[in-house]
Structure 1
Amino acid sequence: MLNPAVKKQLQEGTVIPAHPLALTEDRQLDETSQRALTRYYIDAGVGGVAVGVHTTQFEIRDPQFNLFEKVLTLAIEEIEKAQVPDSFIKIGGISGPIEQAIEEAKFIKAIGYDLGLLSMGGLQSASEEELLNRTEKIADIIPVIGFYLQPAVGGRILSYDFWRKLADIPNIHGIKIAPFNRYQSLDVIRAVCHSKRNEEIAIYTGNDDNIVNDLLTVYRINVDGKKIEKRIVGGLLGHWSVWTKTAVDIFNKITDTRSKGEIPSELLTLGQEITDANAAFFDPNNEFKGSIAGINEVLTRQGLLKGRWCLLDKERLSPNQLEEIDRVYIDYPHLHDDVFVKENLANWLKE
């Protein structure tokens, strides 16, 4: 049973950053910086956090690192300390084969997460029916947000029929669409609109390349001769793990614009500036190889992380990516939140 306050917040839409992982130079967990990140997001005004997801590095589950339980527990501890409202959405990532996914679902529920973000990534040999069966079993344990992860970072293409059937599963409360593809994103929206559970499912953008347009668009889908309207109500984004205070301000501006029914052209221009910044952070020119290191680089510049290190040595910046991050910092000073971070960093880093 999903907390009614959380369900209301999820349905109305909010900013949910995908929580990164803080490491020391020798690839050990930097607990102080890890806690500081959670504090940063809460003080920036987000409506929830997602931990144990792609931006947190899926490898935290590997036996050689064994960080999954520790990292997800740290976030819960900080959320409890902050005395956030009951509506604050706590999302834990769930991935892997069905046995692993079940154990992760049981763990995150036990320590206080509201929902599981269920990744279909890394399961290339599983049929869609097997993935649906896996989803049903996880939804029996904890409320679920489905996750359409783009193939470049371990996801797979899933059919309209898959999402149509997934939308009908009880205890599915949302879907994060992150295929970075307009056609595949539309498949999910159409599928949800054709479900009797349409109004129960909140759609969140994970398309870091199209954030503002996703949030501004009303979709009208023909269902049995009737036009059903559906919005992407919020975002669950790796991009929102940096410059988060500004992201919250922009999201609030977007929601205000939606209520008025008029879209000023400057918001569309701002959207393309955000996409350009995301290209620097996420490294699409190199099939997103530098995406996690890019996010960590920005957080390092702000002092929230001690370095951009990742668990796997192959996770590093691509050639010219550092220069691209330099460029967007100069080109879009109105997008960063360096002043906000500087004013609060000492408090966030307190043990």
Structure 2
Amino acid sequence: MVELVTARLPVGARRDIGRYGGVNASMALPMTADHRPDLGALRRYARWLADQGVIAVTVNADTGEGAHLTPAERVAVVETVKDEVGQGVGVVSGLIAAYTEQAVEIAKALRDAGADALLVFSIPAFTGSPLPPELVHRYFAAIGEVGLPLIAFNLTPSLGGVILRPDVIRRLTDVAELQAVKEASFDAATYVSTRDALRAAAPDVAFLSGCDTFMYESFVLGADGALLGYAGLAAALTVRIFGDVRDGRYAQAQRLNRERMQPLAEVLFGAPVRNSRARIKEGLRLLGVIDEVAVRPPLLGLDDAERTALRTAMERAGLL
């Protein structure tokens, strides 16, 4: 991979989109039967992903139940994964907080634990309309003082996120540490408008697809890279299709998407989408990567019908 830069960027510095030009796999978090992070299983899982061609992994995000973890657990997750993958694969951590001072404190702990970059989740103050661009800018600027590259997160409200409109995106690009935007609105029109706003304001900030349910189409619409929960289970397939689109092999990518990728995506991220974490863990168990599929309450495990549907989709995807 092209290593994620950890040194703080001076104001006005150019970014290198190439370091994001691949697949970043958002990891699930293996847990023990009593709902505690299983760091041994996490280590094995991280190595398994690193060997499949991803340029980075993301921990403590939605797929990894980041909102359900204590700050100390998030630090332990970063330390474990960074120790396992070393410098060969970037380690991004989700940054989930409620207000600025808390976010800065958590960001420092994640930096010291070895995180190479931060995926910054929206906070409660971002909700409501209109959203003042200066409010978002000040939040990111304060976190930027910690000295790590930042990835903004455009996430659909149906998953608890906030859509950063073009005026917010434009103001946000003034933060020197902003290196990428993950677009996970799951709406094609919003995806395109965000892409256009970002590239007009800062063509050197990477635009990353986070749209697990229409990955192929999002790649064709012009993603510089991808940061996907789907890749936490089907990393090699995601890397292959992203590479095909990047290199202009559209017919091949479209066939792989139709026959293998999309049917699995529809099961993994079907309603209720909150069950995607449990589905990914069940898929990892079927592959022999982890042994336990517990999710932290109040999240629920899968019923027999969901397990059967997942196995069928994984077989169709060529994973089993």
Give TM-score, length-normalised by structure 1. Answer: 0.79
- For the 8 Å contact 1:206–1:236, the answer to whether it is kept is yes
Deviation at 1:111, TM superposition (A): 2.7
Structure 1 match to 2:209: 205
**Tell me, which stretches of 5 or more residues in structure 2 are unaligned?**
8-14
- Secondary structure of residue in 2 paired with 1:145: strand
1:17 is aligned to 2:25 = yes
Structure 2 match to 1:233: 224
Q: Deviations over 1:235-273 (max 9, x none)?
A: 10000001222322333333322xxxx632x42232244
Q: 1:74 is matched by which residue type in structure 2?
A: T
Distance 2:120 2:314 in 1: 33
- For the 8 Å contact 2:78–2:91, the answer to whether it is kept is no
Q: 1:137 is matched by which residue type in structure 2?
A: A
- Secondary structure of residue in 2 paired with 1:250: helix
Distance 2:168 2:305 in 1: 39
Structure 2 match to 1:95: 96
1:254 is aligned to 2:256 = no
1:267 is aligned to 2:257 = no
Distance 1:27 1:3 in 2: 32
Distance 2:125 2:256 in 1: 36
- For the 8 Å contact 1:289–1:318, the answer to whether it is kept is no
Distance 1:52 1:175 in 2: 17
Aligned-CA RMSD value: 2.4
- Secondary structure of residue in 2 paired with 1:289: helix
Q: 1:201 is matched by which residue type in structure 2?
A: V
Distance 2:167 2:300 in 1: 34
**Greater C-alpha Rg:** 1
Specify which of 290, 294, 299 is matched with residue 279 of structure 2: 294
Deviation at 1:10, TM superposition (A): 4.4
| 4+ long deviations beyond 4 Å | 7-12, 121-127
Structure 1 match to 2:119: 117
**Shift in CA distance, 99/280, structure 1 to aligned 2, threshold 3 Å:** same
Structure 2 match to 1:144: 150
Q: 2:214 is matched by which residue type in structure 1?
A: N
Structure 2 match to 1:305: 290
Distance 2:235 2:297 in 1: 26
Distance 1:67 1:111 in 2: 11
Comparing 173-182 and 161-170, the one that deviates more: 161-170
Distance 1:202 1:24 in 2: 36
- For the 8 Å contact 1:282–1:295, the answer to whether it is kept is no
Q: Deviations over 1:166-223 (max 9, x none)?
A: 123222111010111112212211211221x22x201110000111122123xxxxxx
Deviation at 1:135, TM superposition (A): 1.1
- Secondary structure of residue in 2 paired with 1:204: strand
Comparing 311-320 and 17-26, the one that deviates more: 311-320
Deviation at 1:278, TM superposition (A): 1.0
- For the 8 Å contact 2:144–2:177, the answer to whether it is kept is yes
Deviation at 1:144, TM superposition (A): 0.6
**Shift in CA distance, 317/164, structure 1 to aligned 2, threshold 3 Å:** farther
**Shift in CA distance, 22/191, structure 1 to aligned 2, threshold 3 Å:** same
Distance 2:317 2:47 in 1: 25
Specify which of 187, 197, 204 is matched with residue 191 of structure 1: 197
Structure 1 match to 2:233: 242
**Shift in CA distance, 61/321, structure 1 to aligned 2, threshold 3 Å:** same
Specify which of 264, 271, 287 is matched with residue 277 of structure 1: 264
**Tell me, which stretches of 5 or more residues in structure 1 are unaligned?**
218-230, 339-351
- For the 8 Å contact 1:122–1:155, the answer to whether it is kept is no
- For the 8 Å contact 2:268–2:280, the answer to whether it is kept is yes
- For the 8 Å contact 2:78–2:115, the answer to whether it is kept is no
- For the 8 Å contact 1:176–1:205, the answer to whether it is kept is yes
Distance 1:206 1:173 in 2: 15
Q: 1:107 is matched by which residue type in structure 2?
A: A
- For the 8 Å contact 2:17–2:205, the answer to whether it is kept is no
Count of residue pairs brought into register by the alignment:
304
